[in-house]
A and B are shown apart, each in its own frame.
Chain A
Amino acid sequence: EVVMTQSPVTLSVSPGERATLSCRASQSVSHNLAWYQQKHGQAPRLLIYGASTRATGIPARFSGSGSGTEFTLTISSLQSEDFAVYYCQQYDNWPPLTFGAGTKVEIK
């Protein structure tokens, strides 16, 4: 099973600032990595797939990078609606599909 490790657990950021979230895989997953945003009481929303491709309707301030075992989600200028929990998920070596434990982005 591919273990996904996200850091930090919590990220405190001021509106307008840049946020950088990390996701590490226990073995290479090539570019087969997705990012999701989840707000309280809602289902997750797909942000990025293929490590760097934005999903339909996702603003350009969200960008993904990385390959192999190291991945990054960057939010270039945080808006109020971006404060949420973010998950990474690998779909390279499965079953099982595996998610990271999440990074909570909170207002500083």
Chain B
Amino acid sequence: QVQLVESGGAVVQPGRSLRLSCAASGFTFSNYGMHWVRQAPGKGLEWVAIIFYDGSNKYYADSVKGRFTISRDNTKNTLYLEMGSLRAEDTAIYYCVRNFLGQGRIAAAYFAHWGPGTLVTVSS
């Protein structure tokens, strides 16, 4: 079955960087667009970024544009989120999620498969 497992969450000081990883299994990773969604403590869900199945396109929320970079390694079935210039408001659980449909059907951008999440805390 589909499995997504995030790692890399930590306590980090404001202004520093952090890289999150998401190991995927149970499906053909290279066929699916992948997203990061985050949730601040006690708050709602916020979409962060998407990378197309082949890495050809990437889009970001305005709140992270220019600071975060999404990438993938289809040979390792792994998704990444490089987070730079971290702020207190980036404190959240970060979920790795799979686009519902694969390849060019990126319009089906809703999520049946989520990882358990990894907690990032930005604090001095």
Q: How many chain B residues touch A (Cβ–Cβ < 8 Å)? A: 22
Partner of B47 from the list A36, A56, A96 (CB cut-off 8 Å) is A96
Give the residues in chain B near A36, CB-CB below 8 Å.
45, 111
CB distance from A15 to the nearest CB of B (A): 26
Number of A-B contacts (CB under 8 A): 56
B→A interface (CB under 8 Å):
35, 44-47, 50, 59-62, 95, 100, 107-112, 114-117
Complex Cα distance, B114 from A46, in Å, reads 9
The prevalent SS among residues of A at the interface is: loop
- Not counting A94-B47, A101-B44, a sample of 12 additional A-B residue pairs whose C-beta atoms are within 8 angstroms of each other reads A36-B111, A43-B115, A44-B45, A45-B114, A49-B108, A56-B112, A87-B44, A91-B107, A95-B59, A96-B62, A99-B46, A100-B44
Known: A43-B117, A96-B61, A96-B62. A34 touches B110 (CB 8 A): yes
Partner of A94 from the list B62, B109, B111 (CB cut-off 8 Å) is B109
